[in-house]
Amino acid sequence: MKVYFRNSLKALVLLSIIFSLNSCKDKEEVEPPIVAEDSPNVAVNKWIKDVMDEVYFWLDDMKTPIASSSDPEDYYESLLFRPTDRFSAIYPDYQELINSLQGINKEAGYEFSLVRESNENENVLAFVTYIKKGSPAASKDIRRGDVINQINGQSMNLNNYRTLLGQIGDSHSITFLRYNAVTGQYSAQAPVSLETVSLAENPNFLDTVYTINNQKIGYAVYHFFAPGIDGQPTRYDDQADEIFAKFKAEGINHLILDFRYNGGGFVSSAVNLASLIAPNVKSTDVFSKTKYNSFLMSFSQFQNNNTPFKNKSQNLGPILSGNKIYIITSSRTASASELIINGLKPYMDVVVIGGRTVGKNVGSIALEDEENPKNNYGILPIVTRSFNSLDQSDYGNGFPADVEGNELSQPVLLPLGDTNEYLLKLAIGKITAQPSGRMNLVDRLDIGSSMESKVRFGRMIEENIELFDK
Q: Which CATH architecture has domain 1-103+201-440?
A: Alpha-Beta Complex (3.90)
Q: What is the pLDDT of residue 29?
A: 52
CB 403 within 8 A of CB 426: yes
Q: What is the pLDDT of residue 450?
A: 96
Q: What is the pLDDT of residue 434?
A: 82
Q: What is the pLDDT of residue 31?
A: 57
Q: What is the pLDDT along the chain (470 residues), one digit of tens a residue?
A: 333 343 433 344 333 333 333 444 444 555 555 455 568 999 999 999 999 999 999 999 999 999 999 999 999 999 999 999 999 999 999 999 999 999 999 999 999 999 999 889 999 999 999 999 999 999 999 999 999 999 999 999 999 999 999 999 999 999 999 999 999 999 999 999 999 999 999 999 999 999 999 999 999 999 999 999 989 999 999 999 999 999 999 999 999 999 999 999 999 999 999 999 999 999 999 999 999 999 999 999 999 999 999 999 999 999 999 999 999 999 999 999 999 999 999 999 999 999 999 999 999 999 999 999 999 999 999 999 999 999 999 999 999 999 999 999 999 999 999 999 999 999 999 999 987 667 788 989 999 999 999 999 999 999 856 654 43
CB 256 within 8 A of CB 219: yes
DSSP letter for 157, please: B
Q: What is the pLDDT of residue 438?
A: 72
- The structure's pTM equals 0.91
CB 445 within 8 A of CB 116: yes
Which CA distances in Å does 79 have to 34, 111, 197, 459?
A: 16, 33, 36, 19
Exposure string over 179-208, b if 16+ CB within 10 A, otherwise e: beeeeeebeebeebebebeebbbbbbbbbe
Q: What is the pLDDT of residue 58?
A: 98
Q: What is the dihedral of CA 51, 272, 231, 221, to 10 degrees?
A: 110
Q: Where are the domains of the chain?
A: 1-103+201-440, 105-195
Q: What sign has the CA pseudo-torsion 101, 105, 109, 112?
A: negative
Residue 173's nearest CA partner among 140, 145, 135 is 140
How far, rounded to the nearest angstrom, does the alpha carbon of residue 12 sit from its chain's CA centroid? 30
Q: What is the pLDDT of residue 463?
A: 80
State the CATH class of domain 105-195.
mainly beta
Burial bucket for residue 371 (CB in 10 Å: 0-12, 13-18, 19+): exposed
Question: 1-103+201-440 and 105-195 share one CATH topology?
Answer: no
- In this structure, which amino acid lies at residue 186? Y
Residue 233's nearest CA partner among 288, 272, 275 is 272
Residue 202's nearest CA partner among 183, 223, 233, 232 is 223
